[in-house]
Amino acid sequence: MEFGLFLPVSGRAATRRTLMEAAQLAEAWGFACAWAAERLVMPWRIETPYPYAEGSVFFVPPDRPFLESLSVLAFLAGCTERIRLGVSVLVLPYRHPLQWAKAAASIDTLAEGRFILGVGIGWMREEFAALGAPFDERAAVADEQLALLRGPLGQEHASFDGRFYRFEDIAFNPRGYQGRRLPIWVGGEGRPAQRRAARYGDAWFPYFVRVAPEEVATRFGWVREQAAQAGRDPASVRLNLNLPIEVTQAPVEQEPDRLRGTPDQLAAAIERFRAVGVEHLALQFMVPHYPERLAQIRQFAQEVLPRFRTGQG
C-alpha cells in the first residue's frame, strides 16, 4: 500500500513557502502523492449539505484563501522531483474539457509523468450557479468529458460531436508526458459514480468521512462487475481511497469505520483496508491549525509509513 497527503491549499497556510515545504517534506518522508483539493468560488451562504464532513457543513470560511488546484500542482511540479501530484478531485463540469485537459497534460509534461487526474461531478449547487455550470446535468456533462478524454483527445486528428461539446479535426498536444494517457481516478461514492469509474477510470477513488473496510470491499466488487459489463478487464480498475485521519498521543477506543488513534492503532486499522485491496490511501489530517497538523503528519510518517514499506503493517 502507498500513501498520499492532502496539501494545505486553503486557509492561512495556503502560501507559497508553506505549500513548497509541505510537498518537499511529503516527498522526503515517503508519501507517494501530494493531493490538492478543488474549489473555484466560495459563496457566502451555502445551503447545500456538504457530504464530506460530519455535520454536513463546509468547514472553510469564505473569507479565507482557497488556491486553484491545477495552478498549485503546476507550481509544485517545479519544486519536487519524485512525488506524484494529484487533484482530488477536479470538478469536471466547472471547466471546458479542452481547457482542463490542456492544463492537466501540461502539468504531467512538466512533472515528467507524475500527475494523477482525480475527477468528480461536484456537490455545491451555489458554486455551480456562480459559474453558470449546469448542476442538474453535471453527471451527463462529466461522462461526455471523460468519453472525450478517453477517445478523441488521444488521436492525432481529434474530432467530437456530442451533446455538450463539438469540435472538428484539431491537434491536441501534449497529451501527457511522452505521449502517455493521463491516469484517471474517479471520485464519488454512489452507484452513478461507481459506474463512471467502471467505464472510464483507472481507479475508483471515493472520499468517505467514515467507512469500514468491508463496506468498501463490497462496493468495489460492484464497480468491477460494472467494468466487466462495460467490456473492460475488471482488474484494470484499482481501489484507492480518500480518508480523514487523526493521530492521538494516547490510545482511544477503536471504531471500525474511522482512522483515529495512536500510531500502533492506526497501523492496525490501515492494515484492514490493505487487506481488502486498497492500494492507495490519500490522507487528510483534520487538525485545523497547520503547525499541529504538520506535527501529526511527521509522526505518522516516522511511525506508521515504515511499517507498510517493510511489510510489517
88 pLDDT above the threshold of 70: yes
Q: For residue 73, give the nearest of 28, 119, 25, 23 by alpha carbon.
A: 23
Q: Calculate the CA 65 to chain-centre distance.
A: 20
Please, which residues have CB within 8 angstroms of residue 28's CB and are 6 or more apart in sequence? Answer: none
C-alpha cell at 4: 498520499
Q: Domains, the chain, ranges and CATH?
A: 2-309 (3.20.20.30)
Task: Determine the residue type at 128.
Answer: F
C-alpha cell at 306: 515504515
- Are the C-beta atoms of residues 267 and 299 closer than 8 Å to each other? no
Helices 97-110, 69-77: crossing angle, 10 deg rounding: 20
310 pLDDT above the threshold of 80: no
How many angstroms separate the CA atoms of 101 and 272, rounded?
Answer: 36
- Are the C-beta atoms of residues 9 and 38 closer than 8 Å to each other? no
Characterise 173 by phi-psi region: left (phi > 0), alpha (psi -120 to 50), beta (else): beta
- Degrees to nearest 5, angle at CA 118 with 228 and 171: 90
In eight-state DSSP terms, residue 231 is T
> Which tens digits make up the pLDDT trace of 233-258?
999 999 999 999 999 999 999 999 99
How many angstroms separate the CA atoms of 307 and 313, rounded?
Answer: 5
Per-residue exposure over 117-154, b if at least 16 CB sit within 10 Å of its own CB, e if not = bbbbbbbbebbbeebebebeebbebbbbbbbbbeebbe
> Which tens digits make up the pLDDT trace of 2-59?
999 999 999 999 999 999 999 999 999 999 999 999 999 999 999 999 999 888 999 8
Q: For residue 187, give the nearest of 137, 274, 117 by alpha carbon.
A: 117
How many angstroms separate the CA atoms of 267 and 257, rounded?
Answer: 14
> Which tens digits make up the pLDDT trace of 111-154?
999 999 999 999 999 999 999 999 999 999 999 999 999 999 99
